[in-house]
Amino acid sequence: MSTLAEPGHQPVRRSPAEAPAIQLTDISVCFEMPAERIPSFKEYVLRRLTGRIERRQLWALRDVSLEVGSGEVLGVVGRNGAGKSTLLKVISRVLHPNHGHLVIRGNVAPLLELGAGFHFDLTGRENVYLNAALLGQPIREVEEHFEEVVDFSELREFIDFPVRNYSSGMLTRLGFSVATMIRPDILLIDEVLAVGDARFQEKCLQRINEFRSFGTTIILVSHQTSEVERHCDRALWIDHGKVAAFGDTQDVVAHYRRALDETDEEGL
Amino acid sequence: MPSDSSQSNPTVASRPVYDSAQRRHPFAEEAYELWRFRELVLLWASRNIKLRYKRSVLGILWTLIEPLMLLTILTVVFSTLFRFQLERYPIYLLSGLLLFDFFSRTTLQIIEEIVASQGLASRVYAPRTVFAVATVLTYLTNWAIALIPLLAIMAILGQPFSVALLTVPAGMILTSLFALGVGLLVATLGASFHDFKLTYQVLLTAWLYATPIIYPLEIVPEKFHRFFKLNPLFYLCETVRDPAFLSTVAPTNVWLIACVVSVGTAILGWWVFTTRRGVLEHLG
């Protein structure tokens, strides 16, 4: 899809189909926070003058290098706070890494928090346009696909009501429909497959599989290792911001499970 | 590797490529990204305007009534209390007051929008200046609508409508640039310290009284004039007030200073916001 194409400033590649969709080299993300919270401007100025500001660094990702081939489905496992979501944020460009080199080929559709940016006082219709624009879609594309979005979300009767009156299921349905309006080159999924009821969820999976068969690269973050085993070509295990294992899905998941069992025995 | 990874993708050649090694300087990058997201700017501004009118019962009428009510209060208070001799005071007052009202609301709202967009920006990628520029557009629209009561008062008081009025939009655009620059500066601080907005609000009140808007500069002793002339809003006010109040275009040197200060402030604000932002992001 050339919806985000920026003609004239991208390098021309001789065999673009072979170039990996995602290349991360030594990516590090550091969250720097004051050792104690200084929320007040007056206090900050005072402490600055007296030179008493300590900072603590927290490395969410450290020297992460990986390549994801075009059309590949990569599963990401790891404990809470290991850096999985940070990784997705780096790929979706929400976070700039402090160090490292990052190449992303293709447009990225993040299914991170569906309907992020919906405004409750606006109608479903208005939110479709706004959300699509937030995701970087041109208005003419939205106009072209609007009917499909409404059909897919099954919210035709409610589309002109403020989304304040929508249930959370309806919100995620609309969010999913907008985010997947146009087939992306890269799809990021962060545990959001719980979209609406079982039947609608089935529909979403179908759409994702369709994307996959057309060559969309998928990164799936999940706590359910069985889900990763079922869907993914390769897997990545992140632990404390570092790559603990990367490669064959069965191997990585087995390693990860063993590590989980061990820490359980230690009583953590 | 699955079989479909080798499948050739017909659109692959036109895929946008993002390479962090080829990133421009944040100052240019942000400008470029803003341009790429220009449709979002317009949608966001129209969202703000829609919400504003949806929430108030009188809707767009309120934009017309509000300045008139303010005007009545200030006219009664200042022309009876201070008794300075200024003919057609309502025109003098309202033309300056609309500018200050635009400036203070825009800069305060930019702080609010940037703070609010922190949550959004950690989930969806969009250049943050979108929200600042959309805020400027929102209040600029509001200002344009509020010119209707000003024109009505000019008609009532028999003030001639001169050709000089055509220069008012230029003054409004310069004020917008100034407001954007100041807004980005205060938003950089406001994003880190949630009490900064209160500090800034106090500052704005002082700024209003330090600018000859409610009173004419003439009532200030001559020796203090040079201090008043350090205030950028002083010049910006003249660019939009002179055509309405004096039926003349503001003097050339006023326009020159207004241009330099506005463009300079916009560049400074953009610079600070785009280069400091990465740091602020990681402050969490």
Which helix (H) or strand (E) element contains residue B67? helix B60-81
**A186-190 and A108-111 strand pairing:** parallel
Instruction: Give the nearest chain A residue to B121 (CA atoms).
Output: A94
ipTM score of the complex? 0.76
pLDDT of B6: 37
Q: Quick check: A119 and B51 CB within 8 A?
A: yes
Chain A within 8 Å of B202 (Cβ-Cβ)?
A: no
Contacts of A233 in chain B (CB under 8 A): 1-2, 5
Q: Quick check: B125 and A92 CB within 8 A?
A: yes
Q: Quick check: B20 and A136 CB within 8 A?
A: no
Residue A1 C-alpha, separation from nearest chain B C-alpha, in angstroms: 6
- Tokens (6 digits) for B75: 């006219």
Domains along chain A with CATH numbers: 1-107+186-192+204-268 (3.40.50.300), 112-183 (no CATH)
pLDDT of A267: 53
On the 0-12 / 13-18 / 19+ scale of CB atoms within 10 A, A236 is buried
pLDDT of B9: 44
CA distance A184 to B149: 50
Instruction: Give the nearest chain B residue to A9 (CA atoms).
Output: B17
DSSP secondary structure code for residue B199 in this structure: H
- Smallest CA-to-CA distance from B101 within B196, B263, B211 is with B211
DSSP secondary structure code for residue A182 in this structure: S
Residue A190 C-alpha, separation from nearest chain B C-alpha, in angstroms: 11
On the 0-12 / 13-18 / 19+ scale of CB atoms within 10 A, A51 is exposed
- Smallest CA-to-CA distance from B214 within B105, B109, B70 is with B70
Q: How many percent of chain A have pLDDT more than 70?
A: 84
pLDDT of B63: 73
On the 0-12 / 13-18 / 19+ scale of CB atoms within 10 A, B94 is buried
Amino acid (1-letter code) at residue A182: I
Model pLDDT for residues B175-185, shown as the tens digit of each residue = 999 999 999 99
Q: Label residue B83 by pLDDT band (50, 70, 90).
A: low
CA distance A239 to A91: 18
Considering only CB atoms, B16 lies closest to which of A4, A71, A110, namely: A4
Contact B27, B274 (CB under 8 A): yes
Q: Quick check: B47 and A130 CB within 8 A?
A: yes
Question: In the predicted model, what is the mean pLDDT of chain B?
Answer: 86
Q: Quick check: A105 and B40 CB within 8 A?
A: no
Is B88 a residue whose pLDDT tops 80? yes
Q: Quick check: B123 and A94 CB within 8 A?
A: yes
Neighbour count for residue A193 (Cβ, 10 Å):
17
B195-212 mean pLDDT: 93
- Chain A interface disruption, residue of B1, B3, B12, most A CBs within 10 A: B12
Range in A5-19, A153-167, A180-194, B224-238 with the lowest mean pLDDT: A5-19
On the 0-12 / 13-18 / 19+ scale of CB atoms within 10 A, B46 is middle
